[in-house]
Structure 1
Amino acid sequence: MLAASDPSGPRVGYVLKMYPRFSETFILTEILAMEALGADVEIFSLRTPVDGHFHEALAQVRAPVTYLQRQLKPTDLWDTLRLGDAQLPGSLESALPHLLAVDPEDAAQAVELASLVVAHGVDHLHAHFASVAATVARLAARMAGVTYSFTAHAKDVFHDEVNPAELGQKLADAAAAVTISDYNLAFLRSTYGARADRVVRIYNGLDLEALLPSAPLRRPPRVVGVGRLVEKKGFDRLLDALALMVRDGRTVRLDVVGAGPEEEALRARTAALGLTGVVTFHGPLPQGRTLALIKGAAALAAPCVVGADGNRDGLPTVVLEGLALGTPVVATPVTGIPEAVVDGRTGLLVPEGDVAALAAALGALINQPGLRCRLAEAGRRHVEANFDTRKNTALLWQLIREAARERRVVTV
């Protein structure tokens, strides 16, 4: 049953770099949970989608989507500025120094978004990621006279390209800020001091009613790895670990779901290791098929690493999905992962980049049904207690309601 909108709550504009995005299921899950709570939501996307695949649940979202203009011609830019000047009396002139301090495209989108906020009666902006989406949301909120908040994840916090001064300003101006792990929270508070006082940790959540577990007592010797094929996922180490297992005479198969810039190199590595008949690269798959592969595997591998540029995973959704479905997870203690995969209790952790330890942990899960079942039971209890989207989105909704009510607006 669809929830009626909450007349006492603010109208919330979600500001996203790209919507929808195949790899960002956590945003889709959160928006659906927001709507189930009665939130009146509108989505503003800075980029048009480029993914060729979309999740089935996308059709359930009721929120309208507006795609902001990008790469404006001079005449279009002047039209945007004229509209902003008409709808934001006095704000555009006072905001000019702030607009000139950011990328011209971001500035133009901020003006357009501020005009839309006023025209559509939006009371609060919430951005996902502390990078470009938060940049545009911050400026638009200032010009439109509304509050804003954002959720910080990982790349937007730890990547070498993060500008600490800019992130500190966003934290200081935000009516509220969220991050997705205790690890992130500790980093932000130690790095940004009082500017991070309003940051709270709210875990990304799962729709647990759609993720029913099964006991992994009888599973074939299959391992599954899911994610973008990029350095931080550590799939090169996973292939090396699989080669060790095969060399030791173990029967094992690996399913890799996802696409990305490292695909060609990973396929070449598979061939060089003699694993062509052992590894299947599926490419991107619909969520239903991906979850079926996870649910049928003896183990889900998430051997994440910190990239050379500082990029890293925050707390991968697929790790939570594995725990929810009853598939034991082998992962590394990168950023917030140990908050979900508690070593020896809800899953197994191995040192980052330790191929031998990764092979041993995967082998243990393949060979020990009792261990699989024990970890699976505890893993499901852990996600029910900490990663239920209904509970966690309710916390976010309350935070946004309080932020909008306080109207902590920083004027330009």
Structure 2
Amino acid sequence: MIAYVLKTYPRFSQTFILAEILEMEAAGREIIVISLEKPNDGRFHEDLARVRAEVRYLPERASGHPWRYFSSHGRALLRSPLRYLSALGRALRWLPTSWKGFLRAPLIAEQASEAGCTRLHAHFASLPAISTLFAARLMGVPFTFTAHARDIYHRSRSPRMIANLLRETERTITISDYNRRRLEALGGSLAAPVTRIYSHVDTRRFVPGAAPAREPPIILAIGRLVEKKGFVHLIDACALLARRGIDFHCRIIGKGPLLGELRQRIEQQDIADRVSLEGPRSRPHLQRLLPLARALAAPCVIGADGDRDGLPTVILEAMACAVPVVSTPVTGIPEAVIDEATGLLVPQADPGALAAALWRLLVDEELCRRLGRAARARAVELFDTHHNVRHFASLLDDCPCPTPGCAPVLEESQAL
């Protein structure tokens, strides 16, 4: 039994976790999900009904249920004083970033132990991984985690804490070679192995359609309406295309805090007849919509706060549908989108270059077909859900049990 520890489950934007759990179950793994928080999205994917895993939630807020958290620490101390004191020592040395995770750890350990879990896995090198590390040490079972993007690069993240996670885990998984190099630099020679397992797409469900829509051709953009998606630059690029008299319709799918700003930008550019903000859509809807697009625009940027995309799932979904992608050489994206081979890459935050690349796809159907065929082949070869998750499952099976207290505790100066 494997416990997946997540900050919030389910989340509408984290389709990759849902797909991974489903494929792990298909591979015969028993899973329980332990969520630190209850969801408040209000929308859930239809595939959620296929998940067999039990979901357990911690008390909603530690401040609201202090007795449950503190009593769990007392029980953990009585069960195994050595393990508890060893974990406590680390938590004290790693303050201030460790305390929230350590506070939650005994409750996670109790939930996982009750379910008969023999290993713990977390997604994101932030509160979920920190909590899971301490819980695994209290239980004496293997701990692994998957690092994505924001959890590595956002300016609020502590390089020291990430380095300690890398040294304490039995194995780190990450979604691109770009991330792997960064994590190996943070962890140094004492870190556990960092394995790149690419983000994935179900290439049996995301498949090419008969033909994209012709009148007008569709430029599709999908993602949360946040800075790192670069949608403001897409709107400016669409304004340039409109001024050139190019026929197209840009459909932006998603929700987020920049909705008002993007709507205002569309009005300022006077292109409301060319660009629409359409809100979030379900996976089945996207499976039908993607093959109709002439191109997927993913103009990702590195945000002012350091946040960035890792390897957006929507890029892989478009590739699987043989839809050419226009994106930027940010983080792991060039590992999927090879310029002029499986898609087109332009400099980030450059509406002119983005418009030029989109124009090429709007006027050259043969280029679209060539890039789309190559993109589909690359998606099947490197990013297939079935293959990548089975590889991930085999790595978890090979993880050794930890030796309590074996990893060194880092001082701040050692990790930077």
Q: TM-score, normalised by structure 2?
A: 0.92
Q: Deviations over 1:107-158 (max 9, x none)?
A: 2211101122222221111111111110001010011111100111111111
Percentage of matched positions with identical amino acids: 43
User: Hey, what does 1:207 align to over in structure 2?
Assistant: 202
**For residues 72-151 of structure 1, what are the structure 2 equivalents within 5 Å?**
72=63, 73-88=65-80, 90-100=82-92, 101=95, 102=97, 104-151=99-146
| AA partner of residue 90 (structure 2) | H
**For residues 173-252 of structure 1, what are the structure 2 equivalents within 5 Å?**
173-196=168-191, 198-214=193-209, 216=211, 219=214, 220-252=216-248
Q: Which moved more, 1:358-367 or 1:233-242?
A: 358-367
Q: Which moved more, 1:301-310 or 1:80-89?
A: 80-89
| AA partner of residue 267 (structure 2) | A
| AA partner of residue 91 (structure 1) | R
| AA partner of residue 401 (structure 2) | R
Q: Secondary structure at the match of 1:210?
A: coil
**For residues 206-355 of structure 1, what are the structure 2 equivalents within 5 Å?**
206-214=201-209, 216=211, 219=214, 220-355=216-351
User: Hey, what does 1:408 align to over in structure 2?
Assistant: 402
| AA partner of residue 339 (structure 1) | E
User: Hey, what does 2:411 align to over in structure 1?
Assistant: none
User: Hey, what does 1:3 align to over in structure 2?
Assistant: none
User: How much has 1:292 moved relative to structure 2?
Assistant: 2.4
User: How much has 1:183 moved relative to structure 2?
Assistant: 1.1
CA distance in 1, matches of 2:99, 2:335: 39
User: How much has 1:91 moved relative to structure 2?
Assistant: 3.0
Q: Secondary structure at the match of 2:179?
A: helix
Q: Secondary structure at the match of 1:42?
A: strand
| AA partner of residue 84 (structure 2) | L
Q: Tell me if the contact between 1:13 and 1:124 (Cα under 8 Å) persists in the aligned partners.
A: yes
User: Hey, what does 1:4 align to over in structure 2?
Assistant: none
Q: Tell me if the contact between 2:163 and 2:186 (Cα under 8 Å) persists in the aligned partners.
A: no
CA distance in 2, matches of 1:409, 1:125: 15
User: How much has 1:88 moved relative to structure 2?
Assistant: 4.3
User: How much has 1:230 moved relative to structure 2?
Assistant: 0.5
Q: Tell me if the contact between 2:35 and 2:57 (Cα under 8 Å) persists in the aligned partners.
A: yes
| AA partner of residue 131 (structure 1) | S
CA distance in 2, matches of 1:377, 1:187: 32
Root-mean-square deviation over aligned CA pairs: 1.7
User: Hey, what does 2:34 align to over in structure 1?
Assistant: 44
- Number of aligned positions between the proteins: 400
User: Hey, what does 1:8 align to over in structure 2?
Assistant: none
Q: Secondary structure at the match of 1:208?
A: coil
Aligned CA distance change for structure 1 residues 384 and 331 (closer, same or farther; 3 Å): same
Q: Tell me if the contact between 2:208 and 2:321 (Cα under 8 Å) persists in the aligned partners.
A: yes
Q: Secondary structure at the match of 1:65?
A: strand
**For residues 26-45 of structure 1, what are the structure 2 equivalents within 5 Å?**
26-45=16-35
Structure 1: runs of 5 or more not aligned? 1-10
CA distance in 1, matches of 2:47, 2:107: 29
